[in-house]
Structure 1
Amino acid sequence: MADYDFTQDLNETKAKFDMIAKAVDMDALAKSIKDLEVEASAPGLWDDQENAQRVTSKLSAAQSQLKRLTDAQRKLDDVETLYELGSEEGDKDSCDEAIDSLKQLGKDLSDMEIQTLMDGEYDERAAVVTIRSGAGGVDAADWAQMLLRMYLRWAERHGYKAKVLDTSYAEEAGIKSATFQIDEPYAYGRLSVEGGTHRLVRISPFDNQGRRQTSFAAVEVLPLVAATDHIDIPDSDIRVDTFQAHGPGGQGVNTTYSAVRITHLPTGLVVSMQDERSQIQNRAAAMAVLQSRLLVLKHEEEAKRKKELAGDIKASWGDQMRSYVLHPYQMVKDLRTGYETSDTQGVFDGDIDGFIDAGIRWRHQERRKAKEEAEAEGNAN
């Protein structure tokens, strides 16, 4: 600890806080909270439950963000005072307490900084995630199920509400696909950086010769649609089929035709739901996911048109975005950010915040570079 410079660390932490406070605009945030409080106290708010949930969720998230910032500001002052008093009185315990508090505050501010980087159009939404097995046969189906567990454990670690909407089980082991929803502000902003192809390399537990197997699974992340999105889907554009829900190995999990499959005829998109108890609930859940996919499709088409106007902006995600290697060594590495860890078991148990945070920083840099390139080309023209 002799080489530790408290003053330098304090100044760096203050600078980080100032940057976050400027990005968030605490005065504007406080005004937004007052406006939301007026909306939340309006008579008849709950006559429209979707709007009421949107308002109360937004208010809660804004209040939490402002409280974290004001608490951090107070702690910065307290830590500085505690260290100064400890130094003057030769109180080593007080100095050590101040140092520990400052280090923890630095970590908290890093978490807050990540949220300021989630500035995409839909980043503050809840998320709908679909995992599909890819090349690799039964190993790929097993890998898809491992990824499902990984993300559900991640949500559990953070206390996020996660709900599995649909699961299609493979014949021998694992799953063909699964869709789940995470109802938490900024769940889409965080998990959207997980979208892409995930590769697993290991000794196959399904190969009696113990050979190494490479398998793939695709992760798709969508923002949950809101009532204000106005995605109109005429009945003539969809085909609705019903069937019996099935569990592992193809066994029926109920005797009624409660499962629903909706096909969007103009685009060919197909969504199926079977985890709700009634056909009405499954249809509503399937329509919500279909609307989310159409919303993203609309957004991608708009982005494509903007890209054509702006020129060739290289900010694409590669097909294979992360490798999980269990043999001949232990390593999980993100191929976009370079972030890696040898704690593979921790990753499979949901400890993926390092990858998500690195992905958010990487995405923010890519967006900024793309914007700068577009502006430079616009000025040149």
Structure 2
Amino acid sequence: MTAFPSALSVNSTRPHRTTTLSGPATNQKTTEMHAVEFLKQSSGDIAPVVVLSGGQRHLKQAAMANLRKRVIDDDETCLTRFPAKEATLQAVSDELHTVSMWGDRRLVVVDDADEFVTKNRAGLEKLVEKPARKSVLALVLDSFPKTTKLYKLVAAKGLEIECSELKGPQLQKWLQETAKETYGQSISRDAATLLVELVGDELGMLDSELAKLASYVGSKGKIEIDDVKSLVGGWRTETTWAMTDATRDNDLDFALTALDQLLTSGEPPMKLLGGISYTFKKYAVATDLSRTIALDQALRQAGVFPMAVNAGQSYLRRLGRTKAEQILQRLVQVDSGLKGANPLPERIQLERLLVELSGHDLS
């Protein structure tokens, strides 16, 4: 058996980029920022031109609500909102320069403005260079290319609020902050990681699931991984996790019984393979990483839940490097087999896979 090495640590840092902006109407300093940072602000001047760009609809809605509150105090009489197909440069300009009878500022919004910007780029550049004195123009875009003159003008005189997806530590932090600040609950790191795996990284859906989980745990005050497994995944997800854990821990009787329950209940074999692959691909990645760093660090970098790192070390050391290096190959083979490359029944293919992953040789 080839041993796994020990002892190297890796630290990584992520740079933060900040740009100082000044708007002619307000002479304030404005920061180019992600929507998550913008949402933490509740006061301060707003630049005369604001661009909300990116694919996260939930962040755009939240950032727009913050913008409305800060510019017009949610006064609908001071808001003009153009659907993309109805917006013309002249109409937008007229609204920006119209003095409201009811308030001293106006907010003019163009939704889904990508095509509007493309058609009216030169005119918008002029609006950014000489903005209306008491109005704010907000353009809601899917993308805002940094190579354009308009982008550079906004960077110099306006504000871009980036509403892009969150990943890794940023998404973890958002989940923890949202759970605490919105729902009065804490959420463990493992629970947050599993929630993302089950739901995806769309913030609106994650927020919806957080609301359910907060209600579910109630006065307990903390959302744990078992809560996510029970409420979000349901019994099939819980059983799939138990099956993969038992395979890792060499409890084949339990693993094969769980597999039988899942197949009998109608769970598709390919979906079950997806759950098995999700867990064991991480062990395959950790095996490769462990050539240069300590095994526990390799498991963490591969995405193994912190609470499962010790069990993962025991598993890979019991398996040995030779068998561990074959994990990915076996997963690929069974994937191909379930798609028709192997004449054996799907149940037999999955049973054989669990036996091999647990470290046993097929007789």
Please state which band the TM-score falls in when normalised by the shorter chain: under 0.3
Give the strand-richer structure, 1 or 2. 1
Q: TM-score, normalised on structure 1?
A: 0.24
Give the helix-richer structure, 1 or 2. 2
Larger Rg over CA atoms:
2
Q: TM-score, normalised on structure 2?
A: 0.25
